[in-house]
Structure 1
Amino acid sequence: MENGGEAAAAKWRFGAANPALHAASSQSLRSIVTRLYDTLDHTDPRPVAPLGHGDPSAFACFRAAPAAVDALAAAALSGKHNSYARAAGVEEARSAVAAHLSRELPYEITAGDVVMTAGCNHAIEVMMAVLAAPGANVLLPRPGYPMYESRAALCGLEFRHFDLLPDKSWEVDLDGVEALADDNTVAMVIVNPNNPCGCVYSYDHLAKIAETARKLGILVISDEVYDHCAFGSKPFVPMGVFGGTAPVVTMGGISKRWMVPGWRLGWIAATDPNGILRDKKIIESVIGYRAISVDPVTFVQGALPEIIANTDKAFFENAMDVMREAAEICYQKIKDIECITCPHKPEGSMFVMVKLDLSCLDGIHNDVDFCTKLAREESVVICPGSGLGMKNWLRITFAVDPPLLKDGLERVKSFCKRHGKTKEVN
């Protein structure tokens, strides 16, 4: 007890907050959604409608492909993948990714162009750190995935926002990109298919993005973790198709297309036939950063060649059929909710951005207030748009079992009616 008293009275020097870490973590989507879950009324007998985050794996209709599960189990049981991997990743996994991406490119990439990561979030961390030279800045989309801002802020990389245009199918405001860029701009980020907007960029629009990047002398970071998650009129086109116009870093992973976000496996690939990224030592820097950061699990890497080779085409088709149905349900249900407007029908990813009209509501102050009260009163979790750079908008996830999605959106409708302003009668 005596020693304990002395310890309690000592002047300990640790415990000061890191302001950058606090700011970054408090604005992460995970933190925002967690705070909403904390407001739920646990006496409500209804199931929670989780329309706030993109993890479809909890639902049987989006279960992982049996071939992927079998490949993972075989890799773990083989005993061949219990050792550390090299910083760039398991060679067979890198080769499999290179072959997988090359099928849709007008040139071939090799294992030397690929670095494995612990999911696409890790790829974001790596790229923001690699680009964080003194004075550099990177251009990020608004609305966008806030992990980019968080990771850039933590490593001292300035970021600037260009707009995605809701009245033009959420295309990039390329004039805005040019206006933002200066001599210290090193890269721009696109997400295609898009989280949070649900759009899919056309071949022509991607070509214009590449031309803009070439004109500015910057690289394009193309976040394609939702690659081929397209169910509208536009097919998915990889940005790497235009790697000959401007250098492209493609980031992807198995979490969304294979419905296994918890397996945490992604990649960074130089889709750059002119070798500019290698000449500028970008890939060398990526591998250097990977050497001092977390490693993706070796047996998941070991399973990757079989996962890619053996997953039946029907698995992807069935998943997109369910996603298409869910997107249609979401779009049609939103039409019946007076205070919410959807500017563009979702045609890709797992999300849609909708506009909240506060003038129709009584006692709702902003999008965060809306989502907080909705969670507490209706057990429906929706992500407020302010966490994505769009105040008084909402991001709705429709990668949910269709009956629960319908029920959840009916609850949103009931909530809006209950909080709607009383219309004056003449």
Structure 2
Amino acid sequence: MEFRQSSKLAGVCYEIRGPVVEQANALEAAGHSVLRLNTGNPAAFGFEVPDSILTAMTRALSTSHGYGDSRGLLSARQAVADYYLRRGFSELGADDVYLGNGVSELATMAVHALVDGGDELLVPSPDYPLWTAVTRMAGGTAVHYHCDEQAEWQPDLADIAAKITDRTKAIVVINPNNPTGAVYSDELLRGIAELARRHNLMILADEVYDRIVYDGARHHHLGAIAPDVVCLTFSGLSKSHRVAGFRSGWLVVSGPRDHAKDYLEGLTMLAGMRLCPNGPAQHAIEAALGDDSIDALIAEDGRLTRQRDRAWHALNDIPGVSCVKPRGALYAFARIDTDVHRIHDDEKFVYDLLLREKIHVVQGTGFNWARPDHFRIITLPEADELETAIRRIGRFLDGYAQ
């Protein structure tokens, strides 16, 4: 008997860790050095864990080896609730918070608790591909709304409105955005909230980069903007506190919970089925929410800002390549002019770049962008290394044809 993958996986793609990754692994196994510009992993590029987080975790190790509350440690959940109350949310308590093994686990739980076969979620294009993947795994359809590159990658409100149907359950909003680095305006977010309000939709707000913004940009929380809309806010410590491997994230429920009582019972059941979140990592949360070390990294002369600037300039210096300046997050989403560079298969471009230059980036179609004319890089390497790598990409493109 041949065992085959479940039909539930048909059409499910997660190219950040897809087939090209396997080739990168094979190259490293053969002794090559590969520059991994595909995954936002701060630890791989020398970013240190704040001492307060390590201290809080190590002190709790001897008492965190047993199962805990399925929603998570009470003190950590209360710390998360207090964090959002200080940022304009209303009427939040510890019971409105679910802790998880990173945002990825919580997003999967949230979508599976919401979506029936044939239901639709509105998801941005380009997106962080997990949202599309888990929607399909849950039996739903991810309907992609357009983010406008000419408007600094802001979502197109008219396009969102046009794609709402009687099967639409929620709008996914990724802000600050991965992969584009866009930070959404207050006006735009109020427009999205009004659409959700008018059509009785839930909002799923992926805000894991809320503290990583540049040039004085301000992040606005959708849950604070729309207190009368059921909103699930997702965030965690992986990026802002450089502890991706600790898998420490949270989901906050705001808005009229009485409208979502049955849904929340389902979400709580799923939380119980995974027994509980990682024990030691939960003890990091309260300490982390009082840590502001990210501020120095995103300051005008901070490391993350310098790297963002150098990457942005270097990408725009490549003939036939352009990039909207990222206002947040840890990525740059570059456009390839296919009239200059004859590329019709962006996955093949990424694969060939990896083989020749040993640089691993992610193709734009891996983020559910319809055309093969973009690629994403992370901006985590030191500025000199990053600029050198981008120049190598430019030289590769100069002689490349499909």
Greater displacement, 287-296 / 365-374: 287-296
In the alignment, which residue of structure 1 is the partner of 2:284?
Answer: 303
1:181 shift after superposition: 1.0
Task: Measure the CA separation in 1 of the matches of 2:184 and 2:245.
Answer: 27
Structure 1 partner of 2:329: 349
C-alpha contact 1:207 1:242 (8 A) present in aligned 2: yes
State the Cα distance separating 1:233 from its structure 2 match: 3.8
TM alignment of 1:155-170, pairs within 5 A = 155-170=138-153
Q: Does 1:21 find its partner at 2:1?
A: no
Q: Shift of residue 221 of structure 1?
A: 0.5
Match of 1:404 among 356, 373, 385: 385
User: SS where residue 171 of structure 2 aligns?
Assistant: strand
Shift in alpha-carbon separation, 1:32–1:233, aligned structure 2, 3 A: farther
CA distance in structure 2 between the partners assigned to 1:332 and 1:40 by the alignment: 29
Tell me whether 1:332 sits opposite 2:313 in the alignment.
yes
Instruction: Go from structure 1 to structure 2 and tell me whether the alpha carbon gap of 1:415 and 1:174 turns closer, same or farther (over 3 Å shift).
Output: same
- Residue by residue over 1:163-189, the C-alpha shift from the partner in whole angstroms, topping out at 9 and shown as x without a partner, is 111111111111111111112211010
Aligned counterpart, 1:370:
349
Correspondence for 2:340? 360
Residue number among 380, 393, 397 corresponding to 2:359 in the alignment:
380
TM-aligned CA deviation for residue 333 of structure 1: 0.2
Q: Secondary structure at the match of 2:104?
A: helix
Q: Tell me what 1:201 maps to.
A: 184
Which of these residues, 87, 92, 95, is aligned with residue 109 of structure 1? 92
1:39 Cα shift? 6.7
Task: Report the Cα distance in structure 2 between the residues aligned to 1:182 and 1:111, rounded to whole angstroms.
Answer: 34
Aligned counterpart, 1:8: none
Rounded to whole Å, the distance in 2 between the matches of 1:137 and 1:263 is: 32
Q: Distance in 2 between matches of 1:302 and 1:63?
A: 18
Given that 1:187 and 1:220 are in contact with CA atoms closer than 8 Å, whether structure 2 keeps it comes out as yes
Equivalent residue, structure 1, for 2:257: 275
Deviations 1:72-114, CA, capped at 9 Å, x for gaps: 11111xx221211122111111111111121101524100100
Say which one has the larger Rg: 1
Matches within 5 A, 1:9-48: 12=1, 15-21=3-9, 23-24=11-12, 26-38=13-25, 40=27, 47-48=33-34
- Once residues 248 and 418 of structure 1 are traced to their aligned partners in structure 2, the CA distance between those partners, rounded to angstroms, is 48
CA deviation map 1:358-401 (0-9, x unaligned): 33236x44211211111111111110011111232111211222
Q: For residues 225-256 of structure 1, what are the alpha-carbon distances to aligned partners after superposition, in whole Å with 9 as ceiling and x for unaligned?
A: 11111013421111111232422110111111
User: Match of 2:135?
Assistant: 152
1:163-242, aligned counterparts within 5 Å?
163-242=146-225
Tell me the distance in 1 between the aligned counterparts of 2:257 and 2:7: 39
One-letter amino acid of the counterpart of residue 285, structure 2:
L
Q: Which residue of 2 aligns with 1:286?
A: 267
| 226 and 196 in structure 1: CA distance in 2 versus 1, 3 angstrom threshold | same
Q: Could you tell me how far apart the structure 1 residues matched to 2:158 and 2:214 are?
A: 29
Identity %: 25
In structure 2, which of residues 49, 59, 77 is the aligned counterpart of residue 94 of structure 1?
77
Cα offset, 1:210, TM superposition: 0.6
Are 1:63 and 2:48 counterparts?
yes
Distance 1:416 1:236 in 2: 35
1:3 aligned partner: none
**Counterparts of 1:254 and 1:372 in 2: how far apart (Å)?**
31
Whichever residue aligns with residue 339 of structure 1, its letter is: G
Matched-pair contact (CA < 8 Å) for 1:44–1:379 = no
Deviation at 1:20, TM superposition (A): 2.6
1:254-286: per-residue Cα shift (whole Å, max 9, x none)?
A: 1111011110111111122x3345x44332221
Query: Which deviates the most, 295-304 or 256-265?
Result: 295-304
> Secondary structure of 1:370's match?
helix
1-structure distance, mates of 2:26, 2:268: 42
Contact 2:126-2:147 within 8 A present in 1 as well: yes
Residues 406 and 292 of structure 1: CA distance in aligned 2, closer, same or farther (over 3 Å)? same
2:37 is aligned, of 33, 51, 63, to: 51
TM score, norm. by length of structure 2: 0.93
Counterpart check, 1:136 vs 2:119: yes
The structure 1 residue matched to 2:295, chosen from 290, 301, 317, is 317
**Equivalent residues in 2 for 1:246-261 (5 A)?**
246-261=229-244
* Pairwise CA distance, 1:288: 1.0
SS in 2 for 1:360: coil
The residue type equivalent to 1:318 in the other structure is A
Q: Supply the distance in 1 between the matched residues of 2:217 and 2:303 (Cα, whole angstroms).
A: 18
Q: Is the alpha carbon distance of 1:341 and 1:29 closer, same or farther for their aligned partners in structure 2, counting shifts above 3 Å?
A: same
Where 2:396 maps in the other structure, the secondary structure is helix
Q: Kindly indicate whether the alpha-carbon contact (under 8 Å) linking 1:339 and 1:416 is maintained by their aligned counterparts in 2.
A: no
Which amino acid is 1:246 matched to? V
Q: What value does the CA root-mean-square deviation take over the aligned residues?
A: 2.1
Alpha-carbon contact 2:180-2:333 (below 8 Å) kept: yes
